[in-house]
Amino acid sequence: MSTLLARRELAPKIYELVVESGRIARKAQPGQFVVVMAHERAERIPLTIADADPQAGTITLVVLVAGASTLELSQLRPGQSLYAIIGPLGKPSQVEQVAQVVMVAGGVGTAPIYPIARAFYQAGSQVITIQGARTKELLFWTERLASVSHRHIITTDDGSFGRRGLVTEPLREVLQEDTERQIGCIYAIGPAVMMKNCVRVAESFARKIIVSLNPIMVDGTGMCGGCRVEVGGQTFFACVDGPEFDGRLVNWDLFISRQKLYHEQETCLLMQYSPHESEKPSAST
Ligand code: NAD
Ligand code: FES
């Protein structure tokens, strides 16, 4: 069992959890994830390792409350234990020596982008980050991302902070400006439709783009087939073959339709979910 050491609400329905796990913290590399279970009967939830501190023996996870399971997880209190946590899982990001990289983070995708951006920054690449959210209140880790970026562009859909619009607009501009083709790598992490549209932009400039796929996962170890995705006409398991893939080769329509498979059931469960009064979060925790 791993103890939850800290919990912070970053934005509405988005929580940062710092979890004690020395073994995972020592092994974790950018791009990898864990599968957690809040209690014995809980669903298994895959979450990217957004940060790791090997000295302190902690990892940082960011949870978006999207259903009953993530709601349950987000309501744990510091001092409580997670029933199970396995990882690090998945293949680490390939941090290449390139002059420039562009990191596109959409919404909660900010959390998984951060350790990858930091790895490229520490490897000496010029890092351009584009961070988008629907509105100012949903932005988080802006300073953290800026600290590993040489250029940091923020967008909000409604224009309440930074530039008005979607992340794809500055991506297009940055690629237009790059006439000497210094940008050797683009990463996009966020909602599937955002990643799909970032891929379209990258393709229009004949650039490679890596995306991180988050299909439905169960065991996270290649056994159940739940996370299968089609990439380049072949079937892969995102948990062991990914989660990162060449975005140009992903069958996006299939990926998006499979992501929605249990949407109705999730919505029903969330509506039925009613935590005990004492389990409801207070504003200060
Ligand atoms: P969101 O819907 O608020 O969108 C965030 C930003 O993405 C927007 O501000 C916009 O700039 C961009 N975007 C959205 N739709 C776009 C479009 N059609 N074209 C271009 N850009 C677009 O994001 P959210 O609510 O934080 O995201 C939640 C989703 O992100 C969940 O469904 C979750 O599965 C996914 N997610 C994916 C990963 C991953 O590893 N791929 C990690 C975390 C979250
Ligand atoms: Fe079961 Fe990937 S989650 S095979």
What is the full DSSP assignment across 182-204?
A: -EEEEEEESSHHHHHHHHHHHHH
Tokens at residue 69, please? 């399971």
Measured CA to CA, the distance from residue 110 to residue 144 in angstroms comes to: 10
CB 193 within 8 A of CB 242: no
Distance in angstroms (rounded) separating the CA atoms of residues 65 and 227: 20
Quick one: tokens of 55? Answer: 């000295």
Ligand 1 center–CA 194 separation, angstroms: 6
Instruction: Give the pocket of ligand 2 (CB within 6 Å).
Output: 217-220, 222-227, 237, 239
Centre of ligand 1 from the C-alpha of residue 22, in Å = 31
Burial degree of 5 (CB within 10 A; 0-12, 13-18, 19+): middle
| Dihedral sign computed on CA atoms, order 241, 243, 249, 255 | positive
Name the residue of 47, 60, 62, 64 to mutate for ligand 1: max ligand atoms within 8 A of Cβ.
64
Residue 84 forms beta bridges with which residues?
Answer: 37
Task: Give me the tens of pLDDT residue by residue for the chain, a chain 285 residues long.
Answer: 789 999 999 999 999 999 999 999 999 999 999 999 998 888 899 999 999 999 999 999 999 998 888 999 999 999 999 999 999 999 999 998 899 999 999 999 999 999 999 999 999 999 999 999 999 999 999 999 999 999 999 999 999 999 999 999 999 999 999 999 999 999 999 999 999 999 999 999 999 999 999 998 888 889 899 899 999 999 999 999 999 999 999 999 999 988 876 566 656 655 666 554 334 443 333
Q: Using a CB cutoff of 8 Å and minimum separation of 24, what contacts does 77-80 make? A: 77/4, 77/7, 77/285, 78/4, 78/5, 78/6, 78/7, 78/285, 79/3, 79/4, 80/3, 80/4
Tell me which residue has its CA closest to atom 4 in ligand 2.
Answer: 222
Using the atom order of ligand 2, give the atom closest to the CA of residue 224.
1
pTM: 0.91
Centroid of ligand 2 to alpha carbon of 91 (angstroms): 13
d(CA 260, CA 229): 14
d(CA 26, CA 95): 18
CA of 67 to the centre of ligand 2 (A): 20
pLDDT at 66: 87
Atom of ligand 2 nearest to the CA of 220: 3
How far away, in angstroms, is 189 Cα from ligand 1 center?
8
Residue 134 has what pLDDT?
97
- Residues facing residue 106 across a β-bridge: 132
